[in-house]
Amino acid sequence: MKTHSRFSFPVTALVAVSLVLGLAGAAMAADKPAAKPAEVTLSGDVQCAMCLLKKADAKGCQDVLVVTDKTVKTEYYLVKNAVSEKFGMSCEAPRKAVATGTVSEKDGKKWLTATKLEAVKKG
């Protein structure tokens, strides 16, 4: 007959409880949402990718905020939402604007989801 140490049950129970708590902590950490991207404010010219910029891959009218910083031009495609719809399309001429929103990348392009988009008044 095999004898068990008087400590074997408590040690086994302690290991099992630790394992359960560790897995629960890992599951809770995985449920946390990803960090929210920071909002940026950009100034530039809103232009249509198809009509004005003549982009070969443009399948329809799509506004792009073109930001020029010294000699570097960066294009931010505007995600179609209520803010960009209210601003309207820029198919005939570029319009100077200030945009606030979050930037993401998709298919090798920068996309700006605008929370605020205002035309710059001339004068």
List pLDDT tens digits, range 47-68: 999 999 999 999 999 999 999 9
Domain that holds residue 95: 40-119
- What pLDDT does residue 8 have? 57
Q: How far is Cα 16 from Cα 27, in angstroms, rounded to an integer?
A: 17
Residue ranges for the chain with pLDDT beneath 70: 1-34, 123
Structural domain contains residue 85:
yes
| DSSP letters for 30-95 | HHSPPPPPPPEEEEEEEEETTTTS--TT--S--EEEEEEETTEEEEEEEP-SHHHHHH---SSS-E
Structural domain contains residue 66:
yes
Q: Classify residue 6 by its DSSP letter.
A: T
Structural domain contains residue 15:
no
What CATH number should be reported for the domain holding residue 100?
2.40.50
Beta strands 109-119 and 72-78, pairing class: parallel
Structural domain contains residue 109:
yes
> How many domains does one find in the chain?
1
Structural domain contains residue 30:
no
Structural domain contains residue 26:
no
Structural domain contains residue 24:
no
Structural domain contains residue 21:
no
